[in-house]
Structure formats: C-alpha cells, structure tokens
Amino acid sequence: MTISLASKYGSTIGDGYDVVSDFISTCDQHSSFIHKSKTKSDREDISKLISLQSTEEGGQVLYDFVDDLCTAFCEFGAQYEIFIRCMRIFFVLPFSPRIISLIIRKLKDVLALLTDEKDSLDLIIDDLNRALHARGRWRDTTILLDTCAFILSKTLSASSNRPATYRNLGFCYAFGVSSISRALLSIHQNGCILGWKEPMVKRLRNLDKNAIRDIYSIVTNSISLRAQKEVEIRESLLFSVQKTIAGSGEEISSSSDVEEIVVLLMESLTNGQI
C-alpha cells in the first residue's frame, strides 16, 4: 500500500498535506493490523493525526509504519527503484522532522542507497525543490538541522570510512547541505534569533571538511545573487547547490581548516555581509 501511495503522489508538488493525510490513514490501517487491540474509536479522526504527527501520541502510527519500512528497505527494498522513491517521499513532502530523523538514523550505514544509480543531478535538485517548497518560509526545526548535521558529520564519515561528499551520499548529501545552507541564509535574510549561534556553530564545527566547504560556497553564492522574494531565494539556493555540487573537485585534504571556514562564515552572517 505504501508503494501505491508513492506511485500516486510521486510527482506531486503543491503543499503536500493531502498526501500526508493519505499516508497517515494508510499507516493507521497498518498499525491497526499489527496491534489487534486497537478500537474503532481510536481511528475515527485521522485528520487530528496530521497536526499531531510530530508528537509522541499523534505520530506514533506513522512512526511505527516508517520504522517497519526502514527495516524492509535494509533487508530487501533498496534493490528496487520504486522502494527508493517511496523512502524519498518522506523528505520531499511535509512530514515531521521526527520521521526524517528516524529514517536517517536507521539507514545511517546505507544512506547512499537512497539514491538510485539512474538519478541525475537535475532529478535530485527537483526533489530538493519540492522539499523546500513543502517547508515554505518557516525556520527549520532543531531536529531537522541536527539530523542534517549528522548526515554530514565527521563522526559518520569516520565510522563509514567514507568522506561526506555528493559522490558518496547522493541525495542525502544534497538534502543535508541545502537544509543547513537554507538555515544560514534565513539568518542572513531575516536576522538572528535568540540562542541560534552556539548550536549552529557546534553543528558546523562537527561537519566533514567537504561539507563545510560546499555549504560555504552555497551560502556565499546565494547571497551574491541578492534574491529578496521567497521564490527567488529558493531558486537562488537551488542554483547554488547545483552549481556547487557539479563543480566539486577532489575530496579536501586533512590539512584543511574547518574552524577557519566556520569563523569566516559566521562572522559574515552576523555582520550581514559576505
């Protein structure tokens, strides 16, 4: 039933909330099948789950469903293109950051498999466009930014013995660098919020050298385009992501100074200029 939903809505852009509603309804049926004791009254108002999907109570059926999907993906699903598309649906439509975090943490050793060998960079950018459109102008949550930082982290690179690069991580890399770049551009465009700097600096300092290089390039290039409207900002970000990823050269050597890039980036943002 998940595959039918992914096939039906795979090209949807819009705001995506009808898709989320259908997914949660399907997840509720899945949960009801597994947990036989669930009563009809528990399932009467599915629409409430949409607004509560990020909470422990309202989102549990969705969380359980996606958890089962991750297990199936690791066991056999990654070999099928339609299963890869199905898993990507959760990134490009307005599902809870808690769901994205679950997928990344459970698939941390096989993140590259969320990119099909047939995927072009243009297709990846199209998925990012849908993801950014679904998230609108709101600031991304701490959960989402921490998850993106985890994808690009030195820790994950070391444990997998593979540097964080687009070549190694594909869609997940593009999703991570675009999300963190978006947060930094939001700071530049809309001003700082109380307590933002320390957690952001901590995230950036823990990134793989290749990721911090690309984020710096994306942010500086985006700001140079001087976009003002929401659509223009999104387009400039996507243009910069594509340009940066397409132009990325060799992996950065161990002598490269992450701290120097972080300091330069943060000073430029807080001064309102790059």
Domain map (residue ranges) of the chain = 1-107, 108-274
Question: Which of 42-46, 187-191, 265-269 is predicted least confidently?
Answer: 42-46
Q: How far is CA 14 from the centre of its chain?
A: 18
Residue-level pLDDT at 158: 87
Residue-level pLDDT at 27: 60
Residue-level pLDDT at 235: 87
Summarised one tens digit per residue, pLDDT across range 215-238 is 999 988 888 887 777 777 888 889
Alpha-carbon span 127 to 133, nearest angstrom? 10
pLDDT at 251 over 70: no
Summarised one tens digit per residue, pLDDT across range 11-60 is 444 455 565 656 556 665 655 544 444 444 444 444 454 455 555 554 67
pLDDT at 9 over 50: no
pLDDT band at 101 (very low <50, low <70, confident <90, very high): very high
Question: Which of 142-151, 170-179, 215-224, 225-234 is predicted least confidently?
Answer: 225-234
pLDDT at 114 over 80: yes
φ, ψ for residue 153, nearest 5 deg: -75, 155
